[in-house]
Amino acid sequence: MMISSDNTTHERMIIMKKYLDKTLSPQERAEALVAEMTVEEQASQLRYDAPAIERLGIPAYNWWNEGIHGLARSGMATLFPQTIGLAAMFDTEMVGRVAEITADEARAKYNAYQKRGDNDIFKGLTLWAPNINIFRDPRWGRGHETYGEDPFLTAENGKAYVKGLQGDGEVLKTAACAKHFAVHSGPEALRHEFDAQATPKDLEETYLPAFEELVKEAKVEGVMGAYNCVNGEPACASEYLMEKLREWGFDGYFVSDCWAIRDFHENHKVTSNAVESAAMALKAGCDVNCGCTYVNLLAALGQGLITEEDITRACVHLMRTRIRLGMFDGCTEYDSIPFETAACPENKQFSLECARRSMVLLRNNGLLPLDEKKLGTIAVIGPNADSRAALEGNYCGTADRYITFAEGIQDRFAGRVICAEGCHLYKEKSSVLAVAGDRYAEAEAAAECADVVVLCVGLDASIEGEEGDTGNEFSSGDKKTLLLPDSQRELVRRITALGKPTVIVCAAGSSINTESQPDALIHTFYPGSEGGKALAELLFGDVSPSAKLPVTFYESTERLPDFTDYSMKDRTYRNTTENVLFPFGFGLTYGDVRVTDLEYRDGTAYVTAENSGAPTEDVIELYLKDYSAEAVKNVSLCGFRRLSLGSGESVTVQISVPEKCFTAVDEKGTRRIFGKRFTLYAGTHQPDALSASLSGSECISTEIEL
């Protein structure tokens, strides 16, 4: 909507013309626009649900919208695999395309809403995505919103997602937002009062690199603070963190997590009341408050805790973002994206392609792919067999059609498919009138009738997610254990005891130990609306599995560091080899891809891979071992490339190794190249003994001296 220009004074006309002058920068235009506002009007724009300023023709705008794996909470949209599943693809081009589709659908919905004067929540162009926190502990309920445990993988995917959301046009297609800044990964139950203690080394080595790269390289438009404190400072008003943004050249807008500023006085106890909390956040650099604490800004101004300049500065930042989005000028580039773009067939087809590449084959004794000519009956059993929630994850949209695991197998298999719930997801019985274990007998009967069993277990976002999610019954969204809920553990014991050929399909956002040795094990994460079709294609060999774990799968929580310990010692593949069930970077295929040659020259690895098995896609992974005292204990991912190889095919690819990968961080937090000697490894997994044993293949290496 254009701002009205019915001003009568010469001075106001000059200001308005300056604002309308597209030859000026968004900063200059924003300054001119904000100069037209009273301080009361400026303060009103610092709320996430900013009201209209009718005299200037500025419509109301709600800053809160979501889109970490497709447009969320705005009705019908394409539902992609949850973020952790996108990370498992090890394919930044595909991640970027997911973001492009998400932005297209956000624009399509926004265009339709604007025509109808609908400026409500979840209908704007400021998407609070991606979540680039490091998934340091498998108990964290929100970990499936992230790209996993590795800073390099997180940064590469995060940059691709930001660029996909924001586009490369004259204006931003949508505005991405890197969250939650910073040092944020549970526990959920404590997040409003928790103080995450992180050393300078861990900050620079693990927690901050992805944020830095998204600001510097991807030019992310927004940054969201976290609920917790970081080394004694509330993350949404941390001088240390805000200074980092300034060092990196950030010139977007900063938003608090929702109602996080209220925590300053209610939980962190760093202020005495809401007025002081609002002042503290604004002075530190928080431009917009998701919550209601900024209704106290004028009171803070009256008490001398903030100045009019503080309010003006934040308002300019917000108007600058809206100008960059083309909100006040019209945008011929994106205003024509039609409503029908949302959940269109082409977008859903791409969701299917992502689902195929996001499911990780962890075990296979030769049962897969299934030979349908030898099968008459398949039993599909388990609480996630016919569950839509097992496809969704959290922060998701609503698909116009879901294909559950059972439905995908029914559609694909010409023989008989017998389905049985087996048990409730986590309760001891499915019917409130029944005795405990009321579905076990049916499941056992179904399994006995079948030639093969597909046992669909795991979690969903009702028991693995954010604090306060409806239905959470396990530790406010965090997992207390890496085991399946008791009801499912009993189901697995009963079904596997029958001795039938069994594939366990586990839908969950992170590490799960099924305590079994099935014939095959597939971890699907939360694969999106097309998950059932993708699973069926993988089971029957129409497509080869090719995903890799973006997190370490551990054996038990008992041998993990304390959940509240933010030290990276003995955490993730970079610092531990203990208690590992399946390593980071591991995943099987139906092919047999081996790296046969590796050379390194001038920042580039030249890798030759050949496939002596069935046609497949696979991922070449590069790891660097730094022998300096300042380096991480083990190796670090430094490059990857997804390949498609036919049977007997060989290919040589080039993979860049960024110079930053040769740096290390000392205890003071200084990053530079300390080492002179490095080993570069290439393979389809990590260069560790367990990965080699599980995959049956070895990495090859070359020495590098600087």
Listed in sequence order, the residues at least 6 apart from 602 whose beta carbon sits closer than 8 Å to its beta carbon are none
Closest CA to 85 of 76, 77, 72, 94: 94
Per-residue buried b or exposed e for 134-146, using 16+ beta carbons within 10 Å of the residue's own CB: bbbbbbbbbbbbb
- Cα separation, 608 vs 420, whole angstroms: 46
Taking residue 248's Cβ as centre, other Cβ atoms within 10 Å add up to 17
Q: How far apart are CA 43 and CA 56, in angstroms?
A: 15
The question of whether 120 is a catalytic residue gets the answer no
CA atoms within 13 A on the CB side of 366: 0
Buried/exposed 476-487: b ≥16 CB within 10 Å, e otherwise: bbbbebbebbeb
Say how far apart CA 148 and CA 150 lie, in whole Å.
6
d(CA 487, CA 480): 15
Q: What is the enclosing helix (H) or strand (E) of 580? A: strand 580-582
The catalytic position among 257, 519, 592, 688 is 257
Distance CA 704, CA 701 (A): 10
Rounded to an integer, what distance in angstroms lies between the CA atom of residue 208 and that of residue 224?
Answer: 13
500, 450 contact by CB (below 8 A): yes
Q: Are strands 593-601 and 604-611 parallel, antiparallel or unpaired?
A: antiparallel
Backbone angles phi, psi at 65, to 5 degrees: -145, 155
- Contact assessment for residue 634 and residue 573, using Cβ atoms and an 8 Å cutoff: yes
Cis peptide bond upstream of 180, omega within 30: yes
Q: Partners of 420 in the beta sheet?
A: 381
Give me the active site residues, please: 257
